[in-house]
Amino acid sequence: MLPSAAPTAAPVGKNTAKDDDAPTAEPLELDEVIKLLEDPSWDTSKDRLLFLLGKLLKRFQNGFLLKNLAEVFKVLSLCADKTTDHPEYIPVMCDILQICGLPFLKEKSSDEVKYAAVVKESLSQMGCLMRVPSAKIRLQTCTSIIMCFRQPKHKCCVNGLRLTSPGYKMQMLEQCGIAETLVLSLALLEGQLEVKLRVLHALQMLSMASEVNCRLILKAQGASKMCSIMNEQDPSGQLLFRASEVLWNLLEKGNKEEVTSQLSSLDCILSFKEAFLNQLLNGFRQYDLQLRNDLLVIISLIAENPKAPLIESGLAKELISSFTFPEIKSQNPLLHSFKLSFNYEDYEMKKLLFNIIVVMLNDPCALPLFREGKVLLALFYHMNPNKKLEKCSWSTVQQEELQLQALATLVSVAPLLLDDYMSFQGNTRLLLLLEWCGEQADGYFGQGHCFHGTGGRGTKKAQLRYCLRLLRTMASLANETLNQNLCDQGAITQLLGIIMQVEVTYEQDAVTLEITSNIQLILSALCDDNLHRKELFGSDGVEMTIYFLKNSAGKFYSGLGHNKLIITTVDCVWYVNVCIKHQSSLVALFHIDVMLKNILFLLWRSCIVGCYTTEDLFLGKGGIFLLLDLLESSPRSMQSMVLGTVLELCDNPKTRSHISAWRGLAGHTAAGLLVQLWKEEERELGVKRDQLGGIIDTKKPILSAYQDKDPESQAPLPADKPSAAVLDVMENLRAKIYSIFCKIGFEDLPGLTAADYVTIAIIRKYLDFKVGEVWDEITRELEAEEVRPISPDVVALESIAKATEDKVKMAALEQADLLEQQRQQDLHKEQLLYSEIKFNHKQQELAAKSWEDFLARTSNYKILLESRKNQEASIESSKTEIKDDGSIFHPTQIAGLHVTNFCGRVITVDSTPTHLTGGPLANTDLALERVPIRGGAPQRLTNPQTDSVPVR
Res. 287: pLDDT tops 60: yes
DSSP tag of 909: E
Closest CA to 425 of 455, 466, 384, 461: 384
Assess contact for 650 and 571: CB atoms under 8 A.
no
Cβ–Cβ under 8 Å, residues 142 and 96: no
Torsion, Cα of 129, 131, 134, 139 (10° steps): 50
E strands, 709-774, in order: none
**Which residue type sits at 936?**
G
- Please tell me the predicted confidence (pLDDT) of residue 578: 34
Please tell me the distance from the alpha carbon of residue 729 to that of residue 579, in angstroms, as a whole number: 21
Please give the average per-residue pLDDT across 356-372, as a whole number: 93
* CA dihedral sign of residues 675, 681, 684, 689: negative
Q: What is the mean pLDDT of the chain?
A: 80
| Structure confidence at residue 618 as a pLDDT band (50, 70, 90) | confident
In the chain, the amino acid numbered 776 is: D
The answer, yes or no, to whether residue 111 has pLDDT greater than 60, is yes
Q: What is the pLDDT of residues 777-829, one digit of tens each?
A: 888 888 888 888 899 989 999 999 999 999 999 999 998 998 898 889 889 99
The answer, yes or no, to whether residue 23 has pLDDT greater than 70, is: no
**pLDDT value at position 882?**
63
Cα–Cα distances (Å) from 308 to 247, 268, 274, 293, in that order, read 17, 10, 16, 20
Whether pLDDT at 198 is above 90:
yes
Alpha carbons 842 and 298: distance in angstroms, whole number: 100
Least confident of 33-37, 265-269, 656-660, 934-938: 934-938
Cα→Cα distances 672→409, 755, 899, Å: 51, 11, 70
Look at residue 163 in the predicted model and tell me its pLDDT. 86
Q: CA 175 to CA 764: how far, in whole Å? A: 76
Q: Which helix (H) or strand (E) holds 658?
A: helix 655-661
Using the 8-state DSSP alphabet, how is residue 635 labeled? -
**How far is residue 643 from each of residues 647, 648, 704, 737, 738, measured CA to CA in Å?**
6, 9, 21, 7, 11
In the predicted model, is pLDDT for residue 318 greater than 70?
yes
The secondary structure element, H or E, covering residue 865 is: helix 861-878
Do 103 and 141 meet the contact criterion of CB atoms below 8 Å apart?
A: no
- pLDDT value for 932: 43
Q: The pTM is what? A: 0.75
| Other CB atoms within 10 Å distance of the CB of residue 93 | 24
pLDDT tens digits along 247-263: 999 999 999 999 999 99
What pLDDT score does 260 carry? 93
The per-residue pLDDT for range 133-185, each reduced to its tens digit, is 899 999 999 999 999 887 665 556 666 788 888 788 889 999 999 999 999 99
Per the document, the length of the chain is 952
Which range among 104-118, 453-467, 515-529, 578-592 shows the weakest confidence by mean pLDDT? 578-592
Which amino acid, 847? A
When pLDDT is averaged across residues 436-457 and rounded to a whole number, the result is: 77
Whether 554 shows a pLDDT value over 70: the answer reads: no
In tens, the pLDDT along 817-856 reads 988 988 898 899 999 999 999 999 999 999 999 998 888 8
Helix 491-505, helix 531-552: angle, nearest 10 = 10
Most confident segment among 225-234, 528-537, 879-888, 889-898: 225-234
